[in-house]
Structure 1
Amino acid sequence: MRRLIFALTLPAICLTVQAEQTGRISGKVLDKAGKPIPGSKVNLKRTDRNWAKDLIPDKNGSFLQVGLDPAEMIMTVSAEGYVTQTETLKIPLGDVIIKNITLLTPAEAPKTGPQAAPEDPGDALNNEGRSAFNQAIPLYNEGKFGEALPFLETAYKTLTEAQVKLKDEKAKTELAPELLKIERVLGICMAQAGYKKEEAEPYLLKALERNPKDERVIAALIETSKAKSDQAAEQKYTAMLEAIQGPNPDVIYNKGVEAFNAGNAKAAKAQWLKVLEIAPNYAKAHYMMAMVEFGENNLKGTKTHLEKYLELDPNGKDAATAKEMLKDPSLKRIK
């Protein structure tokens, strides 16, 4: 009997992390009542060379500019019927600077000297933090955890400070649950972004204490456990998640791939059999089972799993290999 020899190559995912070489600026332009100002304009002008750009806030008063060099700039904010504000600022490297501007009419502006500070020293911080959180949420919902993270860090830091400085007890009370919400989302983003996993754990543990069935928090704790190479914790949180969701075939399949890549075909086979118990139509598990059976010279098992794989995923990435294998006389003879 002629033996079949196939090279099985499992794709590896390579992550390349590039350091951010630019900064960003974002914020809002609002009137004294906290409403957007139609026709407002934000002008950025570098102090070290001839470069300037106008930013037009959207209908919510929000503006954003990315890809800025870390340089000193003059920011001028203006709108018809309002007093123009000018400020010199430094764009941070690989980070975002948030500037929320309140423009005043000539009647509202102080007659002399700088603009008067708000009565409550926590108001500005409260507004800034909430604005940063609002910018983070769409990114978080889209799974862009790395992009959401700077906004969330700003929101958490600023609102924590605001809670200390606010004199309005009602505002303090309203802010407390918002901080807990931000703390949870911050922990999830840290765990999922890929570069602050271990720092996420304290936030996630507090969130889990408040809601022991929070699936996203538990999934994030699995990531922090992997980052710490804490297998006991990873198993614990995986069991918690499975108790809520049921066994996850994707997770089990990936464990099989890890075992197979490590040269442990027996352990890989056990994982893929478990996948097929949970999800009999999991095509990739059938293909991998065929490879293991072939390695064990079980041609009947090889043929059965190859045919099932092609039935479930006839145009899959391994379909061509499966079809070629099934053409071999040694497999064609198997009934």
Structure 2
Amino acid sequence: MPKAKLVLRLASRNLSKSIYADDKGNFFQVGLEPQLFEITTTAEGYQPTREQVKIDLAEAVQINITLYRSDEARPAELGGVRYGATANRDIQNEAFVKEEDAASSNFSDPAMKLDAESREFFNQALPFYKMKDFKGALDLFAKAYKGMSTSLQSIKDEEAKKELASLLPKVKKAYAISLFNTGDTKEGVALLAEIANSEPDNKSNADIFDMLVRYYESVKDKTNAAKYLVSLEKAVGPRSDLTYNDAVAAFNDGKPAEARMKVLKTISADPSFAEAYWLLGMIEYGSGNIPAAKNNFKKYLSLEPNGKYAKDIKQELSGM
């Protein structure tokens, strides 16, 4: 409905905000807290509606609101409360008073205003982040993380502080990943390590553990690479590329039994890892188990018919 008025009310913190639909009846709002909102919609000549909508952090929510004329019967299955003209005025007056209270509250506690602004920066960064445009997201995430961190230190409302404390780690993670992927490895790794060290058993941090393993491998820091590999394997199981490399090293060192154990671990973690079947075929061939060697070579060819070992394997198979 063009020009319909929507009042978004966050009752838990006595805050509300009014927005208006455009000429096509559409409305858009960013930066809402991840809370339960009550939405009251009014338009001249129509019955007001009231409904509750749960907003999750970093998630876009689309809702469709149906308005009924004042003289039109409202379907019972839609639920809600039917309001007459007097009630309609009461709702609008209540919303107006709440808006004034909210403004006063924001001025009396600047930390809450900073919190709201920071959440809006976070929401603005998300489209860039989801497209892996980490450069586009970085400055916005920086403002969000630093603003929310500052707000947390001085916000007066204890419930708001508790809720903000639960959200800040998600913002910190997005900021750290953006830093890391834009080349600021020093600060990015420091933040990633803080997150990983605070929750070493959190499976949702698997991407962070993986970044840290790869980073520390690249700088030849075996101690830290091994440390975060433990957390990574707890989260997602063995990393196939690492176990394969270990298997190759054992094979080259003349330790076929150890190599076999490690390559089987690789295949267990990733059954489509073609080179693991090539290596297992070589191990079986060296131990004299020709049928097993053939099976593994054929498995390699089924996965990588034109792979780098395909020509050699075909020659081996023709002579077996």
TM-score by length of 1: 0.50
Aligned twin of 1:22:
none
Q: Name which of 183, 187, 195 aligns with 2:172.
A: 183
Aligned twin of 1:239:
230
Q: Does 1:285 align with 2:275?
A: yes
* Alignment check: 8 A CA contact 2:114 2:151 kept: yes
* Alignment check: 8 A CA contact 1:275 1:282 kept: no
Instruction: Give the secondary-structure state (helix, strand or coil) at the position aligned to 1:60.
Output: coil
Aligned twin of 1:276:
264
User: 1:260-305, CA deviations, whole angstroms, 9 ceiling, x for partnerless residues?
Assistant: 9xxx955998668623344264442246528977xx9x99687554
User: What is the total number of aligned residue pairs between the two structures?
Assistant: 226
Q: Does 1:212 align with 2:180?
A: no
State the AA in 2 paired with 1:196.
D
Q: Does 1:308 align with 2:299?
A: yes
Deviation at 1:249, TM superposition (A): 1.7
**Structure 1 residues 154 and 318, CA gap change in structure 2 (3 angstroms):** farther
Aligned mates of 1:271, 1:140 — CA distance in 2: 40
* Alignment check: 8 A CA contact 2:118 2:143 kept: yes
Aligned mates of 1:137, 1:145 — CA distance in 2: 10
Deviation at 1:214, TM superposition (A): 1.8
Q: Name which of 121, 130, 152 aligns with 1:163.
A: 152
Q: Name which of 232, 239, 254 aligns with 1:248.
A: 239
Aligned twin of 2:183:
195
Aligned mates of 2:298, 2:18 — CA distance in 1: 64
Aligned mates of 1:224, 1:327 — CA distance in 2: 38
**Structure 1 residues 203 and 290, CA gap change in structure 2 (3 angstroms):** closer
State the AA in 2 paired with 1:333.
G
Map residues 215-226 of structure 1 onto 2, 5 A cutoff. 215=203, 216=205, 217-226=208-217
* Alignment check: 8 A CA contact 1:222 1:234 kept: yes
State the AA in 2 paired with 1:200.
G
**Structure 1 residues 136 and 317, CA gap change in structure 2 (3 angstroms):** farther
State the AA in 1 paired with 2:187.
E
* Alignment check: 8 A CA contact 2:115 2:148 kept: yes
Aligned twin of 1:135:
124
Unmatched runs of 5 consecutive residues or more in structure 1? 1-29, 41-57, 64-106, 108-116
Deviation at 1:168, TM superposition (A): 4.5
* Alignment check: 8 A CA contact 1:156 1:183 kept: yes
Deviation at 1:159, TM superposition (A): 1.6
**Structure 1 residues 211 and 331, CA gap change in structure 2 (3 angstroms):** closer
Instruction: Give the secondary-structure state (helix, strand or coil) at the position aligned to 2:110.
Output: coil
**Structure 1 residues 308 and 155, CA gap change in structure 2 (3 angstroms):** same
**Structure 1 residues 286 and 162, CA gap change in structure 2 (3 angstroms):** closer
Deviation at 1:156, TM superposition (A): 0.6
Aligned mates of 2:313, 2:215 — CA distance in 1: 43
Deviation at 1:194, TM superposition (A): 5.4
Identical pairs, percent: 25
Deviation at 1:234, TM superposition (A): 0.2
**Structure 1 residues 228 and 326, CA gap change in structure 2 (3 angstroms):** closer
Aligned twin of 1:332:
318
User: 1:106-129, CA deviations, whole angstroms, 9 ceiling, x for partnerless residues?
Assistant: x9xxxxxxxxx9443234321221
**Structure 1 residues 333 and 255, CA gap change in structure 2 (3 angstroms):** closer
Aligned twin of 1:60:
28
Map residues 50-129 of structure 1 onto 2, 5 A cutoff. 59-61=27-29, 118-129=107-118
Aligned mates of 1:119, 1:268 — CA distance in 2: 71
* Alignment check: 8 A CA contact 1:303 1:326 kept: no
Aligned mates of 1:145, 1:272 — CA distance in 2: 41
Map residues 5-20 of structure 1 onto 2, 5 A cutoff. none
Instruction: Give the secondary-structure state (helix, strand or coil) at the position aligned to 1:158.
Output: helix
State the AA in 2 paired with 1:172.
K
Alpha-carbon RMSD across the aligned residues, in angstroms, is 4.7
State the AA in 1 paired with 2:28.
N
